[in-house]
Structure 1
Amino acid sequence: MTADEQSATTRRWTPESASAFGRAVGTRTAAAVLAVTLLSLSLRLFALGSRTFHWDEARVGYWILRYAENGIWEYHAVIHGPFLYHVNKYLFQWFGASDFLARLPVAIVSGLLPLTAWLLRERLRRVEMIAVGLFFAANPVILYYSRFMRNDVLLAAFMVYALAFYVRLFDTKKPRYLYLGTLMVALAFTTKENVLVYVVTWVGAAVLLFDHRLQLVAGADDRKAFLREEAGKTWRALRAGRWGLHLVLGLVFFFAVVIFFYAPRSQGISEPGLWKAFSNPGMFPAVVEEATVGSWESFVSKWGEGNQKSYLSTFKSLGAVLWAGAAALLALSVVGFVTDRYVGERPRDVVSFTFYWGFVSVLGYPVIVENAFPWEVVHAVVPLAIPAGVGLAILVRWGAEAITDGDAVSATLAALLVLLVAGQVAATGVSTTYQHPADQHLDADETERNKLVQYGQPASGMGDTLERIRYASNNNEGIDVLYYGTDFYVGDESKNDRWAAGGGWYDRLPLPWYTEKYGAEVDSTSKLDVVGSNPPPVVIARADDRDAVAGRLDGYRAFEEEMTLWGSETVFFVDEEYLRGQSSK
């Protein structure tokens, strides 16, 4: 066989050859995908609780702790969907609240993403499956936000799972994949409101795929015949194997999951609640209405305003994050899509579909987001990992063919490109996720900004001060922490027990998560006289008030911390008696 014939054979890929290939090397490929998945989980679980909670993590974490305490929850779009609330509530009750445990659901769900490559085994080659899994496991953007208690990675992951299960449904015609895919879509709806954007992008991508089919048909009459044939095949498929029944049951299943998550919980108050309805069935209509109609109205209203800034400025901000954390993935996704689209007999649906999905997200999110926060790029990076894996596999195959043909130059070039991609991904991931996860800069000279860290992330080094607060709270009776100043003052601290909190509570973040977790008694004042009258073990004030507060305290040591990346210098005054007690432990 000539080199040209060998290359052409490599490019030809049909479902039949895919199945044969899977049978021939299925065990080795499955083992490789499993190994990548274990790597993915390890990267996420290692030191998962080491970074101090971001403001957004702390805000949600606090409300989960309050929900676990009082049993009251209702959906508020501004703090996003109920998935983390319900899942983490039980985790906290069973195992105790911690930074590690709070982030664990996101780490696990995203860490298992490489397994979706195995579900696509009829559509991807062996090397492509492994490459896709590696991008899911180690891309710096996906990795960083997989170690973050936010919904963005959860949403993207659930939709990739859904796509993989639906593709498997088409490949095997087994009803279980319909229900698994529907479960994933339902769970996606419980994470964040921009799942509606996913629905739109999926519809658009499906239309483009159907257009692919029409383009493969020669003339207008042939296209009409093709449409009639496809409609007939679809109708016959629905009639055969009870698919109509499965679709109805799948829809019921979807709404059952959504209602379960969105139904209000109202322990100890007079309002309707899910668990109350089981002892009072007449309450079910009100619960279902709130979980569906009420939640939907709030859900949709979250997207009412969109981006209030210029498109170009937002695109530039998000583009900088993409370039810093996913440059190789973006480039290889284009290579994978273009090669698959125009080389060989016909493009593969899954490659085209995910590229359209991701590409539209790159262009569309600057239109719809309220703020150009770096985690928004997750919604483009995750789907583009699939065509990027195809692009990386092309480089690997190119090198392998060059070695077979004795072409040392091409083999060396291909190896260098693969190493360059691997090195860039690894270096960026290690720097942003492990070395500088809470730092504004990635270098000692402070010349390279850490694009993945958002302003609400407290600066690194806060852990020791938090430990001092924990020790004081556990070894004191009465008020443990006193906030001073108008920034932190709340007239009635009991207003913080249910959403939303009052006064200066939000300027305290991320501390409310930690003080609630420690079981600390918290109070606040705007009067210096109160500070000096029987002060608690910990007093917290802005740096501007340091001297005034210090003058009212005797025997306290001051520790200054940044509550955000910059511009939020805060002083923690800790009674030295508790410092001595802590050091003796």
Structure 2
Amino acid sequence: MNSDERPLSGWVARNRGLTGLLAVTALALVLRLFRLGSRSAHWDEARVGYWILRYQKTGVFEYHAVIHGPFFAQVNSVLFQLFGANDFVARLPVALVTGLLPLAAWLYRDHLRESEMVALALFFAVNPILLYYSRFMRNDVLLAAFMLFALGFFLRAHATGEARYLYAGTAAMALGFTTKENVLLYILSWLGAGALLLDHRLLLARDHDRGWTGVFAEYAKRTGTSVSRFAPHLLLALIEFFVIFVYFYAPRARGFEGPGLWKAFGDPTMFSAVISEAIVGSWEELTQQWVTSHGHAYLPYLKHFVKVLEQGALPLVVFAILGFLAVRYVDDRPRDLVSFAFYWGAVGILGYPLVTDIKAGWVTAHVVAPLAIPAAVGVALLYRWGREAYEDGDDSGMAAAGIVALLVVAQVAFPAISIVYLHPQDHQIPGMFGGQEDNHLVQYGQPADGIGPTLEKVQAVSKANRDGTDVLYYGYLDDQGQYIFYVPDEGDNEYWPPASSWYNRLPLPWYTELADAKVDSTLKNDTFDSRKPPVVITRTEKRPDLDGYLTGYVAYDHELTLFGSETTIYIKRSALREANVHA
């Protein structure tokens, strides 16, 4: 037994950094997969999930910028076929990709110390913002993960000259392009950060009596030499990128006229139209939806953005500043990666409140992810200070380092446990020092806590019902003359775009579609003189109109969002008994 253990222990000793990253990655996966399906679907998750289910049934898909990239439509439709559709499976791709994100730190080993790589992996694994939205069927943390992998692969390609890293980085970037439109902001941020790094070099050249033109020419030549090493592979990498891009963005049109990816294999003349629609059509769709002013005041959005960072990433931001300053003014020379990542993240703090269309905590992930790199340098610096104090027998230094470390752990662990696991659907949460505080990470479209068991009852009785409508919405006209819950023709919701009043129902359509429920709606309360479906749904303010008609029902009151959307779900008692479900 001992002889078998020695090679393993020897490998661990020789590869401590990689071993640490593997351990952190295992932790990250466990944290993301644990009770992954326990939180009820957010409004946005339900909207995307519903259209994936419709895509499975109809075979019809085309890119719609308002629900972002086609990654989930193509990946989750396959997962739903293999494992069934539910909240857990819907979130699984994000959980797995971001759970593996700590391994991306290994790609930066030419630029980071061993302790810094482990610290970076820990930030990726346990930061409350990244962790919360890694358990969410949204594209933001997924995009950040793909682009961090892409950058790491490209840096390894530059350091080693090996083309395999170029192809891996291209694949990661292409997948990033399939997630969300602000991947374009990543490219712009990279170009801007690169320009600032070049400016550093030119400024240093001036201070050391070297001509800036000569330094610029030197860097241009060096860049050209680096690119030329991959000349035989660049065209293949470009083809790789577009194959992935077109596969995800290409329309599907089973049983309908018009171009479709799978139809083109039977009619190759259709491929040009498919490719055009995937590239040109998608670009036109993107620009029409997002390249416009959102028309909101900047400061309230900036304030909300900062509050989310304060609640979910304060230690990371502080250590990012420390790490950036340390490598810029303490080390022998600035480290490009650290400065690059700091600029990339810092500009996002100012930029994202301007370009985002709603106040949502998930946009901060695009800042937290790059700032984790300089933050890892800052944490590793604290670790070295503590270790040096220990080696020197400096008790006060050890105590100071230990206190700071405990404060950091508390500032990370408390919101991670409280928001991610204990209160993932609550508008307010217990404060670290007592009392209640607003939960800034949870976005308004998240249903309030407690709706999950009722949704399970709705699905159970819908599946057990054998005749007629399963779920009937009782709607009305609001003060602005808009329908709430009522859709004149429910068939309008089978293909994009749905009726405008369909959105009032979210996240319920995801759950009723999962149960394959037959859904209808009405404006008249006397409808219930002749129709007694197993489930009736209306706004709680309309209960006085219905209570007299639904005497054989159990009423459940819930918020379809965090607040302001009080909704009553009536379920027939006999239907509950038939489905063998307790009221």
TM normalised by structure 1 equals 0.93
1:111 maps to: 99
1:14 maps to: none
CA distance in 2, matches of 1:346, 1:306: 41
Say if 2:336 is the partner of 1:339: no
User: Partner letter of residue 519 of structure 2?
Assistant: V
1:269 pairs with 238, 244, 256, which one?
256
1:227 pairs with 216, 220, 225, which one?
216
Deviation of residue 319 (structure 1)? Answer: 0.7
Say if 2:110 is the partner of 1:122: yes
2:201 maps to: 213
1:31 maps to: 19
Say if 2:247 is the partner of 1:250: no
CA distance in 2, matches of 1:565, 1:446: 19
Deviation of residue 305 (structure 1)? Answer: 2.4
2:189 pairs with 195, 201, 208, which one?
201
CA distance in 2, matches of 1:311, 1:391: 31
Q: Secondary structure in 2 aligned to 1:442?
A: strand
Say if 2:458 is the partner of 1:469: yes
User: Partner letter of residue 574 of structure 1?
Assistant: I
2:473 pairs with 483, 489, 499, which one?
483
2:6 maps to: none
Q: Give CA deviations for 1:345-380 in whole Å, capped at 9, x if unaligned.
A: 111111111111000101111221122222111110
Q: Give CA deviations for 1:272-291 in whole Å, capped at 9, x if unaligned.
A: 10110111011111111111
Q: Secondary structure in 1 aligned to 2:119?
A: helix
Could you tell which deviates more after superposition, 374-383 or 55-64? 374-383
CA distance in 1, matches of 2:517, 2:323: 54
Q: Give CA deviations for 1:374-413 in whole Å, capped at 9, x if unaligned.
A: 2111110111111111111111110001111111111110
Say if 2:558 is the partner of 1:561: yes
Say if 2:344 is the partner of 1:357: yes
Could you tell which deviates more after superposition, 442-451 or 168-177? 442-451
CA distance in 2, matches of 1:430, 1:344: 36
Deviation of residue 172 (structure 1)? Answer: 1.2
1:291 maps to: 278
Deviation of residue 459 (structure 1)? Answer: 0.6
Say if 2:134 is the partner of 1:137: no
CA distance in 2, matches of 1:446, 1:277: 61
Say if 2:172 is the partner of 1:172: no
CA 1:515–1:282 in 2, change beyond 3 Å: closer, same or farther? same
Deviation of residue 332 (structure 1)? Answer: 0.5
User: Partner letter of residue 519 of structure 1?
Assistant: D
Q: Note if contact 1:336-1:388 (Cα within 8 Å) is conserved in structure 2.
A: yes
Deviation of residue 245 (structure 1)? Answer: 2.1
CA distance in 2, matches of 1:24, 1:48: 32
Write out aligned runs for 1:11-50 (5 A).
26-50=14-38
Q: Secondary structure in 1 aligned to 2:321?
A: helix
Q: Give CA deviations for 1:525-546 in whole Å, capped at 9, x if unaligned.
A: 1111212313111111111111
CA 1:233–1:317 in 2, change beyond 3 Å: closer, same or farther? closer
Write out aligned runs for 1:162-561 (5 A).
162-217=150-205, 218-219=207-208, 221-240=210-229, 243-443=230-430, 447-477=436-466, 478-486=468-476, 487-561=484-558
User: Partner letter of residue 482 of structure 1?
Assistant: L
Q: Note if contact 2:163-2:233 (Cα within 8 Å) is conserved in structure 1.
A: yes
Structure 2's unaligned 5+ residue stretches are 1-10, 477-483
2:7 maps to: none
CA distance in 2, matches of 1:292, 1:26: 47
User: Partner letter of residue 468 of structure 1?
Assistant: K
CA distance in 1, matches of 2:85, 2:12: 47
CA distance in 2, matches of 1:312, 1:213: 35
Deviation of residue 428 (structure 1)? Answer: 0.8
Q: Give CA deviations for 1:203-225 in whole Å, capped at 9, x if unaligned.
A: 00111122233334355654333
CA 1:239–1:334 in 2, change beyond 3 Å: closer, same or farther? closer
Could you tell which deviates more after superposition, 41-50 or 346-355? 346-355
Q: Secondary structure in 1 aligned to 2:453?
A: helix
Q: Note if contact 1:556-1:576 (Cα within 8 Å) is conserved in structure 2.
A: yes
CA distance in 1, matches of 2:107, 2:99: 16
Q: Secondary structure in 2 aligned to 1:523?
A: strand
User: Partner letter of residue 269 of structure 1?
Assistant: F
Aligned-residue RMSD, C-alpha:
1.7
User: Partner letter of residue 492 of structure 1?
Assistant: D
Q: Note if contact 1:305-1:370 (Cα within 8 Å) is conserved in structure 2.
A: no
Say if 2:47 is the partner of 1:59: yes
Q: Note if contact 1:532-1:553 (Cα within 8 Å) is conserved in structure 2.
A: no
Q: Note if contact 1:264-1:274 (Cα within 8 Å) is conserved in structure 2.
A: yes
CA 1:389–1:234 in 2, change beyond 3 Å: closer, same or farther? closer
CA distance in 2, matches of 1:350, 1:155: 19
CA distance in 2, matches of 1:526, 1:325: 44
CA distance in 2, matches of 1:209, 1:25: 36
TM normalised by structure 2 equals 0.93
Deviation of residue 583 (structure 1)? Answer: 4.8
CA 1:339–1:237 in 2, change beyond 3 Å: closer, same or farther? closer
CA distance in 1, matches of 2:279, 2:445: 32
Residue correspondences, number: 561
2:77 maps to: 89
Deviation of residue 25 (structure 1)? Answer: 5.8
2:481 maps to: none
Deviation of residue 559 (structure 1)? Answer: 1.1
Percent of aligned positions that are identical = 52
User: Partner letter of residue 438 of structure 1?
Assistant: Q
Deviation of residue 237 (structure 1)? Answer: 4.1
Q: Secondary structure in 2 aligned to 1:489?
A: coil
CA distance in 1, matches of 2:320, 2:221: 35
Q: Note if contact 1:563-1:570 (Cα within 8 Å) is conserved in structure 2.
A: yes
